[in-house]
Amino acid sequence: MRKLQKTYRMEPAGSQGVWGLDDFQFLPFIWGSSQLIDHPYLEPRHFVDEKAVNENHKDYMFLECILFITEMKTGPFAEHSNQLWNISAVPTWSKVNQGLIRMYKAECLEKFPVIQHFKFGSLLPIHPVSLC
C-alpha cells in the first residue's frame, strides 16, 4: 500500500486532510502505541523528534508510521499532521492507545460508509438491532 501511495501520491476520497490521523492507516498506530506502552524511555512527545524517529523506527511500528508521514508530506509536522501533533502532548502511551481505540471505533467502526465494505459471515457476524 505504501508503495502505491508513494508512486502515485494517492489520497483517498473522504480524506480529512490535516484533521485526520492518517488517510490510509489507522490500525498500525493502535498496534504501535500498544507496543510502546511502558517503554523505559520513549514517550509520546518523542515521536515529533526527528532524531528519535530515525533512530527507532525499525523497532517500533508507531514510529515507522510517523517516518512514512514525514516522507510523504512537506512543511512543519504540526501543520500537515495536526491531529498527531496534538497526540504527542498526551503523557503516556497507554492513554494514547486508549484514545486511538476510541477514535477508531468512532471514525471507522461506527460509520456506515466504512463498515458497509466489511465482509460479514460466521467469523464476523452482524445482527439487527432490536427495537423493543
Please report whether residue 64 resides in a domain.
yes
What total number of domains does the chain contain? 1
The region of weakest confidence among 56-60, 66-70, 105-109 is 105-109
Please report whether residue 124 resides in a domain.
no
User: Which class for 72: exposed (0-12), middle (13-18), buried (19 or more C-beta within 10 A)?
Assistant: middle
Please report whether residue 13 resides in a domain.
no
Please report whether residue 116 resides in a domain.
no
Q: Supply the CATH number for residue 86's domain.
A: 1.20.120.1150
Range of the domain at 74: 2-7+24-109
Q: Which of 7-16, 17-26, 78-87 holds the top average pLDDT?
A: 78-87
pLDDT tens-digit readout, 45-55: 999 999 999 99
Please report whether residue 14 resides in a domain.
no
72 touches 5 (CB < 8 A): yes
Please report whether residue 15 resides in a domain.
no
Cα angle 87-12-59, degrees, rounded to a multiple of 5: 45
- State residue 99's pLDDT score: 96
